[in-house]
Structure formats: C-alpha cells, structure tokens
Amino acid sequence: MSFRLLSLALILSCLWGCAPQRQALKPSALPTAQATAQETPVPPPVLTDDQLLGLVLPPGMVQDPESGQYALPQVMESFWKLRDKAAQEGWRLILVSGYRSFKNQTRIWNHFDALYQKTDAKLDAKKRVRAIMSLVSVPGLSRHHWGTDLDISEAGLRGQLVNVHPDTPDRIVRFYDWMKLNAPQFGFCKVYLGKRGAVRDEPWHWSYFPYSRIYFQQFMAIRDFHRIMDARVRDAQYLMKNFPKVFQEETKSINTECSSETSSQSTVGSPQSPAKPQIN
Ligand SMILES: [Zn+2]
C-alpha cells in the first residue's frame, strides 16, 4: 500500500472520528481534577456492553473545540491539561482521533480493506485481515469506541501518526519521549507496544487508564458479540468464522500494565519497519 494512500486516509481520519450533536465544552468549563495512571477523582461512567462495542454513544461526551474530536469528559479534561503542559514545554499537541462509533470504525476498516483488495489482489482473506488489523482495529473491538483512547500527534509531525524508525528526525523521537515521560502523569498510557498480537507499535495511541483499565475488564468479559457481526464490514465472512482468533489477536496486542518506556531506543524499529501512518 502506498504512503500516499495511507496519508489520504489520515487526512480523512478527522472526519471519520468526528461525531455531531454532542456536548461541546470549552476547556475552562470543566472542573479541575488531577488524575494519575492508576486513579481518578471522578469515577468512570458505567458503560453498557453495546457502548463498549461502539454501537451506542457513551454518555456525556464532550468535544474538543480545537480538533472537533470527542471523548468522555474526564478524559478530555485530562488531555487538555496534558496539552497545556506540552505547550509550556514547546510541544503543540494535535488530537487526531478520539471517540469513534462502530459505524465510523467500519468506514475506516472498509477503506483499508478496499485498498488492499485493489493493490494486492493476491492476498487471501486471512492475510488481508491480518494486514489490516496491524493498522486498524476490527469494528466493535476498537478502544476508540470507549471514549477513553486518543490518537495524539504534534505540530512538527503535521498531524500525522508515524512510527519511529532509524531515519526519524530527532525532534519527533524527542516528542515521543516527552509523551512517554509526561502523559502518564495525566492518566494516559501507551497500550500498543507492538510486542505481541496483530497490532503494531503505536507511539501515538494513548489510553486514559483510570477508566480504560476498568472498561477493558468488562470488555474481556463480554460473551455475546453477535451485534457486531455485520455483513456491511468487508471480509465479514472471514471475521465471523474466525472471531475467537481475531479477538485474541486484537486483545493480545494490548499492554495492560501501563508500563512506561522512557528510552527512545525501545520504539526504534528495524529498517524493515517503515514510517507508515496508522490509525488503530
Ligand atoms: Zn488509536
């Protein structure tokens, strides 16, 4: 798949992530509260299984006026604080993608599936699904459904979501190092380390752990997934037939410990891992 096509997908990602008709608050309109990666003064809203699967909007979502993206109130407030601290230290954070519905995730999934079918017609469904899963979560299994997970870029990256590789400019490596050091102070942890499962390393994907570690437990206890078995998802037949394996590959990728990586070396990939923008 060409870099140009992926870049195009990223340009569209704001549109995919945007959702109309929700509460829009300015950063100053919310009460101040300090959270760490382990605890928060505001308990997480109770979400139903359908909300965790992206089928129903979580309650009280707020919009970031700058990006137009949505998240749960406490998550957004913590992001604003992180963004303020970043600005004080010379980094301009860009919220690329927050909450996504099942429908939005399906649109992204189908976009990539169609690209693969067009550019690599020889791939069978198994290989194609595996390749897409490294870039995009299966609709219904994305953590972006929860309102807790954010894709964060920086002005120096021009809003792109990029991996670190040996040729990555120093400033970008320093930005990711800054995030690894500072984001956990505001409750945000990196969940895709690229060490196991289908999903690659994602230095841009940050999860508000005081909430998402609770939702993750609930998510792992869901036994009825028939509501996300939707024929409108491309390669749905393969996904339905192999769902246990797909679910395992998706969830195995997740870092549940909020272990911080403080060295840029830990995110430096091999020369074979190109700086592809990705949007799980
Ligand atoms: Zn993401």
pLDDT > 90 in the chain, percent: 61
> 149 alpha carbon to ligand 1 midpoint, in Å?
7
Question: Measuring CA to CA, which residue among 144, 143, 138 is closest to residue 229?
Answer: 138
- Assign 259 a pLDDT band (cuts: 50, 70, 90): low
> 43 alpha carbon to ligand 1 midpoint, in Å?
23
> 176 alpha carbon to ligand 1 midpoint, in Å?
15
Q: What's the pLDDT tens digit per position in 187-243?
A: 999 998 877 778 888 899 999 999 999 999 999 999 999 999 999 999 999 999 999
> 243 alpha carbon to ligand 1 midpoint, in Å?
21
On the CB side of 216, how many CA atoms lie within 13 Å of its CA? Answer: 20
Ligand 1 (ion): residues with CB under 5 Å are 151, 205, 280
Q: What's the pLDDT tens digit per position in 97-123?
A: 999 999 999 999 999 999 999 998 889
Burial track 193-204 (b if 16+ CB lie within 10 A, e otherwise):
bbeebbbbbbbb
Report the pLDDT value the prediction gives residue 280, as an integer from 0 to 100.
63
- When the pLDDT of each residue in the chain is averaged and rounded to a whole number, the result is 82
Domain regions of the chain by residue span? 3-267
| pLDDT: which is higher, 267 or 89 | 89
> 90 alpha carbon to ligand 1 midpoint, in Å?
24
Q: Does domain 3-267 have CATH number 3.40.50.720?
A: no
pTM of the model: 0.81
Q: How many Å apart are CA 219 and CA 213, to the nearest integer?
A: 10
The strand ranges marked E within 44-100 are: 62-63, 70-71, 93-97
**pLDDT of 164 over the 70 cut:** yes
Q: Which residues contact 207 (CB under 8 A, 6 or more apart)?
A: 143, 148, 149, 150, 188, 189, 190, 191
